[in-house]
Structure 1
Amino acid sequence: MLTVSEFPDPTPGPGEIAVDVTHSAVGLIDVLMRRGVFKDQPGMPQAPYVPGLEVAGTVRELGEGVTGLTVGESVVSMSATGTGGYASVYIAPADLVVSTEGYGIDPALAVSVVPNAAMAHVALTRVAHLAEGESVLVHGALGGFSAAFPGIARQLGASRVVGTVRASKLEAAADTRLPYDKIVDSAELSNALTDEKFDVVIDPVGGQVRTGSLSLLKPGGRLIAAGNASDDWTHQIGSNQLWLGGITIAGFNAGAYLPTHPQYIRPALQAALTAVAAGLGETVVDVLPFGEAAAAHQRMEDRALRGRIVLTPQPRS
């Protein structure tokens, strides 16, 4: 259950930054964590806790040893723990914070796209090893994480980017400003794509979509398993399909990958800012007050959204 509570304002420790939050993004991972899907995984938060892993706001206070930012500067931050974002004041590790000053990006869009675009940059460069001129297929094309991939793929020189959505999302897909070449019905891939094959497939959906994706890869192609929106936790893929097709499947979970590869965070955040400022991340954003966090989660579970949902705190007294 989500409830609004009052706590004392936190202060940053060494290497940390306190952020006065103006916007907090709501993601599917927040819903899964609230439902306890990961409660038995080591290191995952246990209730009660404050959800939220993406915030935008202004620097409130710098912890000892933090340089390169000033109080009042506009920033976006990613979370090291996947928690703490649904708050009016957020404590962030300095290396997960990037200034948005001078980029002209609305903070609601910044928090909706920049952290995910940074993760997409890491996934495409370090895991998928996307090369200039290659093609990319993105499942769940309008979802929060998926929507970050077409812009970053374009930035990296992809020759073609195609998205897939459920039939109920096709109308919204027709109006999107995201840089896809086209978006097709995920249930009609064989007809919609004819014989087209891809170098990289991004799959945050899982289940049978993941299995069906194997036949859409070129020899040497790479599938990035980046989520499980299908909620199919028993799905398996036979290893013989991999060697027969000459393809690779790799998992990407930013919460597991980035803490052990921190050197990629800063360049990824900068690349994300550049992409969003260039108009490559124009997704739909719905802004709600913190008091409607439960309704936001329900919309996520019902798939009743066209882009991202962002929460804003009540004005501070």
Structure 2
Amino acid sequence: MHAITVTAPGGPEVLTWSEVPDPEPGPGQVLIDVAATAVNRADVLQRRGLYPPPPGASDILGLECSGTIAAVGDGVRDRQVGDRVCALLAGGGYAEKVVVTANQLLPIPDGLDLVAAAALPEVACTVWSNLVMIGGMRSGQLVLVHGGGGGIGTHAIQVAVALGATVAVTAGSEHKLAACRDLGASITVNYHEDDFVTAVRDAGGADLILDNMGAKYLGRNVDALAPDGQLCVIGMQGGAVGELNLGKLIAKRGRVFATGLRGRPEAGRSSKAEIVSEVTRRLWPLVADGTVRPVVHTELPITEAARGHELLDSADTVGKVVLTVA
């Protein structure tokens, strides 16, 4: 088969469409003929040599895909050759074929084609596991989403609104803020021009914050929390080491938690399998009825993966960049 390989850590130009060995499904796994995958920030970091795959995972980029099951391994009984699926991956999505544990498969939501479905697994599992499963998001809360124009941000806005929350977002351009408002955000802050802490405090403080910046926003996020509020850190685009004012956090009875998705165990408590099951059961009906939809900035042939990375590096995208496999 062919896959996008990384010739050396570097810029988008190091991505090459190359011939590689075909993967084979082991016990409990399935082989997927990939229809499409999507570009995620983790892919950009891995391309730069900053985010190696977890032990045992493919070193090919790609944390999600959609496609058709081509073969099933021993012990797989609830999946059949020919099933149309999408999947949460630890790696390997930028390829014509990929192997994945069967319990990380999701059905294609009603009303979506394979290409659109490729934009969902990573953002859906990230948002649902953090905002709902850990954060306990509920109707009436104020939720602050940083990076509202990105793949995770555009999805988080829709999920929060669908569950009855009021959403505040930050983004770096009016174009992105307008897109966030179209998706249901009520409070929009251009972080180049305005202070999100003031805007959120004026609205009573955030009950839940979904943060992709890490250290850079740590202190200001605590300032923006409402009493009993929760800060969920899912990224470190603003650095990994910051100072936390425990006095302020205690005074607000606040909670800070940090999570990742790629390195979670495949099965058991807090596993990918548990998250995938919850997403399929509770979120997929909202996708099927159109309440939550994939937001795709553009579709490109997978052979133009470098262009997809350039788009993500430019920070001009709204939603996901999808790569299609012929």
Distance in 2 (CA, whole Å) between partners of 1:292 and 1:175 is: 26
Residue 166 of structure 2 corresponds to 160
Q: Is the 8 A contact 1:114 1:276 kept in 2?
A: no
Aligned residue number for residue 82 of structure 2 = 72
- The verdict on how the C-alpha distance between 1:11 and 1:256 changes in structure 2, with shifts beyond 3 A counting, is closer
Q: Report deviation, 1:245.
A: 2.4
Amino acid at match of 1:18: L
Match of 2:105 among 92, 97, 102: 97
Structure 1 gaps, min length 5: none
Runs of 5+ in structure 2 lacking a partner?
1-13
* Contact residue 105 and residue 276 of structure 2 kept, 8 A: no
Q: 1:223 aligns with which of 208, 212, 231?
A: 231
Cα offset, 1:193, TM superposition? 4.2
Secondary structure of residue in 2 paired with 1:300: helix
Query: Is it true that 1:307 corresponds to 2:312 in the alignment?
Result: no
* Deviation per residue, 1:9-41 (Å, 9 max, x gap): 3221111111111111110001111212234x9
Query: What letter is aligned with 1:173?
Result: L
State the distance in 1 between where 2:164 and 2:265 align.
24
Mark the CA change 1:175 to 1:264 in structure 2 (over 3 Å): closer, same or farther: closer
Kindly report which structure 2 residues correspond to 1:1-317, keeping only aligned pairs within 5 A, or say none: 1-39=14-52, 43=55, 49-79=59-89, 81=90, 83-100=91-108, 103-155=110-162, 157-166=163-172, 168=173, 170-176=174-180, 177-187=182-192, 188=194, 189-190=196-197, 192-193=199-200, 195-196=202-203, 197-230=205-238, 232-257=239-264, 259=266, 261-262=270-271, 263-279=274-290, 280-313=292-325, 315=326
| TM-score of the superposed pair, with normalisation by structure 2 | 0.85
Does structure 1 conserve the Cα–Cα contact (< 8 Å) formed by 2:177 and 2:190?
A: no
Root mean square deviation of aligned Cα: 2.3
Aligned AA (1:270): R
SS at match of 1:112: coil
Equivalent residue pairs, number:
304
What is the percentage of aligned positions where both structures have the same residue? Answer: 27
**Deviation (angstroms), 1:267:** 1.6
Q: Deviations for 1:209-235, whole angstroms, at most 9, x for unmatched residues?
A: 3321212211100000011223x2333
Aligned counterparts of 1:149 and 1:112: Cα–Cα separation in 2: 13
Contact 1:185 1:192 in 2 (8 A): no
Specify the SS of the correspondent of 1:265: helix
> Taking structure 1 as reference, are residues 284 and 264 closer, same or farther at Cα in structure 2, changes over 3 Å only?
closer
SS of structure 1 residue aligned to 2:75: coil
Q: CA deviation at 1:77?
A: 0.2
C-alpha deviation, 1:190, in angstroms? 4.7
Compute the TM-score of the two structures, normalised by the length of structure 1.
0.87
Distance verdict in 2 for CA 1:278–1:137, change over 3 Å: farther
Work out the CA distance in 2 between the residues paired with 1:86 and 1:77: 13
Change (3 A) 1:132 1:184: same
Going from structure 1 to structure 2, the CA distance change for 1:171 and 1:253 (only over 3 Å counts) comes to same
Tell me, yes or no, if the aligned pair for 2:167 and 2:187 is still in contact at 8 Å: yes
Contact preservation (8 Å) 1:25, 1:311: yes
Judged with a 3 Å threshold, the aligned counterparts in structure 2 of structure 1 residues 32 and 222 are, in CA distance, closer, same or farther, namely same
Return the structure number with greater relative CO, CA threshold 8 A, min gap 6: 1
CA pair 266-16 structure 1, distance change in 2 beyond 3 A = same
Whether the 8 Å CA contact 1:56–1:75 is kept in 2: the answer is yes
